[in-house]
A and B are shown apart, each in its own frame.
Chain A
């Protein structure tokens, strides 16, 4: 059994979610190869070679892979993947974008967002917004799987000494091109990997009031998230959204401020170790999952919390 893990990166740095995906691969067992496809991404390949448990790194460095266009990446992965028993990628927007395309090209089913490995062919995954957990078994010759990063503890980023091999194959479908991107800039930790997350909902009333949460977050070294209501109301950009349709987080501490706790929001955060809810509505569903609830006006409680940290 040999597993191919596709690295998540931005051409400069290896994304931490790759280390969680490697942990899922290690749980399956067998040799693990990592594919780094991008442009000018040799530093990423070097970082991947140092990760624990990696036998070999394949480096596909070409302009065709610069922006992870799925038409090109999927063709490459399907070509390289034929000799592997499993192909894994993080369930990031990139992984979700190209991996089903890989599976269809290989004519196999894909298993999305696994949270546990039972055996080499059996996995657990949440369905219905996390309200049920399905155990699924695959008889496919090549098992194509995306991995929910919060389901697996990352492997060590240092200590490995895999070799790096260049891949010469260039797959350029020529049907799509990259136009541009607008990335949100932040000095705070990345939402998906943060140990503490402070999130605001509709109760924040406007975008300026999020300043209060940023102050608390900065004292805690936390990332700031939001509910869909806060995103739709234009308080904050959509990449801050936590939930079924946004990011899935499982930090040590999740502080929900002015968030009622709809099913779709809980889907994104209910695996957090400790949940704190601050809400003035005593009946809000969020209190049913919160370890510590404070029924209070957030405009008084949040500044007070900040001053006492």
Chain B
């Protein structure tokens, strides 16, 4: 079966971001960008399904600027067969991205679509669910285990109280949690081979999708700073401070 994996180019997770002085957003000039960690896990899961003989073809897709080709090349180096870039310079809402992905789903007709559960920049946690709604497919979000069995997929999900297992009819949408797998590193020969793999570029207009949004960001501010407190010398002093100064115990 065909698997579609959606990836996103985001600021690297180790970067401490800074808010712009004019409060228009976060300063991303000259900041290291990477594939969103949850998306790496999605690619890895697709590659493992191919290695098990469940999947026959993996298509990596992203919606983003021209530079997002780098992240698609990374996905190709990790084992995706071909890639699709839906090129859009502006930052889009999750709903717009879900609509564009729906356009790609209609074209490619995958049996399984794997996405990360959230992007670490917008922290929305919406796109997979929205894509599932638009395509009418079942959804297995926050997956920590995925087992394809015939025309069904069993997904173990991380929920507030523990774990929950659901069975979904294929085609279905799965979003990955951190514990689903440990992504591999791309080897140099695979990075070289990835340069020759096909990468198709589309525009939102090609998919007939309007990307307008009803949500506007008025301003972005730094959170209230929390300053370092004091160092105590002993457990006695700590207990005393908590009881008498902070009055929390």
Q: Which of B76-84, B136-144, B195-203 interfaces with chain A?
A: B136-144
Q: Which residues of A contact B248 (CB under 8 A)?
A: 196, 252-253, 273-274
Interface string of A86-105 (1 = CB under 8 A from B): 00000011101111111111
**Which residue from B129, B162, B228, B234 sits with its C-beta under 8 Å from A101?**
B129
Q: Does B122 contact A (CB under 8 A)?
A: yes
Q: Which of A109, A180, A181 contacts B94 (CB 8 A)?
A: A109
The verdict on B104 contacting chain A, using a C-beta distance below 8 Å, is no
Q: Contacts A103-B95, A245-B177: A126 and B242 contacting too (C-beta < 8 A)?
A: no
Residue in contact with A132 in the complex, picked from B167, B177, B214, B222, CB distance below 8 Å: B222
Most buried by A among B172, B229, B234: B229
- Interface contact B214-A253, CB-CB below 8 Å: no
CB-based contact A67/B138 at 8 Å: no
B236, CB-defined interface residue at 8 Å: yes
Given A112-B124, A178-B164, A184-B162, is A292 in contact with B241 using a C-beta cutoff of 8 Å? yes
Nearest residue, chain A, Cβ from B129: A100
Q: Chain B 155-166 against A: per-residue CB contact (8 Å), 1 yes, 0 no?
A: 001111111111
Identify which of B98, B167, B169, B179 contacts A232 (C-beta below 8 A). B179
User: Min CB distance, B122 to chain A, in Å?
Assistant: 6
Q: Is A289's CB under 8 angstroms from B168's CB? A: no
A136 to B122, CA, bound (A): 12
Interface string of B95-108 (1 = CB under 8 A from A): 10010000000000
Knowing A96-B141, A238-B179, A245-B177 are in contact, say whether A137-B223 is a contact too (CB < 8 A): no
Q: A127-B122, A132-B26, A244-B120 are in contact. Are A291 and B239 (CB under 8 A)?
A: no
B132 at the binding interface (Cβ < 8 Å): yes
The digit string for A104-124, where 1 denotes a CB below 8 A from any CB of B, is: 110111111100000000100
Task: Tell me the minimal C-beta distance from A82 to chain B in angstroms.
Answer: 15
Q: How many residues on chain A are close to B (CB under 8 Å)? A: 90
B219 touches A135 (CB 8 A): yes
Q: Which of B13-21, B44-52, B57-65, B66-74 makes up part of the contact surface?
A: B13-21
If A110-B94, A178-B164, A294-B235 touch, whether A270 touches B133 (CB-CB below 8 Å) is no
Whether B160 contacts A192 by the Cβ 8 Å rule is yes
Pair A293/B249 contact, Cβ less than 8 Å? no
Does any Cβ of B come within 8 Å of A288's Cβ? Answer: yes
Q: B29 within 8 Å of A by Cβ? A: no
B59 shortest CB reach to chain A, Å: 22
* Segment at the B interface, from A32-40, A41-49, A55-63, A169-177: A169-177
> Once the chains bind, are A181 and B214 in contact (CB under 8 Å)?
no
User: Which residues of the partner chain A approach B187 to less than 8 Å between Cβ atoms?
Assistant: none
| Chain B interface mostly | mixed
Q: How far is the CA of A227 from the CA of B164 in the complex (A)?
A: 22
Contacts of B168 in A (CB 8 A): 175-176
Asked if A183 and B162 make an inter-chain contact with CB atoms under 8 angstroms apart, the answer reads yes
The residues in B between 101 and 148 inclusive whose CB is less than 8 angstroms from any CB of A are: 117-118, 120-134, 136-142, 144
Shortest Cβ distance from B46 into chain A, in angstroms? 20
The answer for the CA separation of A158 and B242 in the assembled complex, in Å, is 32
Q: Are B26 and A128 in contact (CB under 8 A)?
A: yes
The answer to whether A74 has its CB under 8 Å from any CB of chain B is yes
> Are A288 and B159 within 8 A (Cβ)?
no
Residues of B contacting A290 with CB < 8 Å? 228-229
Q: How far is the CB of A283 from chain B (nearest CB, A)?
A: 12
Query: CB-CB contacts of A268-309 with B at 8 A, as 1s and 0s?
Result: 001001111000000000011111111110000100110011
A115 to B239, CA, bound (A): 32
- List B contacts of A182 (CB < 8 A): 162-164
Q: Are A109's CB and B213's CB within 8 A?
A: yes
* Cα-based distance from A100 to B138 in the complex (angstroms): 13
Q: Given that A183-B161, A239-B161 are contacting pairs, would A127 and B93 also be in contact in the complex, using a CB cutoff of 8 Å? A: no
Q: Which residues of B contact A70 (CB under 8 A)?
A: 129, 132, 139, 141
Interface 0/1 of B210-247, CB less than 8 Å to A: 00011111111111001011111111101101100010
Measured in the bound complex, the distance between the Cα atoms of B14 and A145 in whole Å is: 29
Contact assessment for A140 and B214 in the assembled complex, using a CB-CB cutoff below 8 Å: yes
B31 to chain A, nearest CB (A): 11
Give the chain A neighbours of B163 by CB distance below 8 A: 181-183
Shortest 9 CB-CB distances between A and B: which pairs?
A: A291-B229, A104-B133, A100-B129, A104-B130, A100-B126, A140-B214, A175-B138, A179-B165, A176-B138
10 residue pairs from A and B, CB less than 8 Å apart? A100-B124, A175-B136, A183-B163, A184-B162, A239-B159, A253-B249, A270-B226, A291-B246, A292-B246, A305-B235
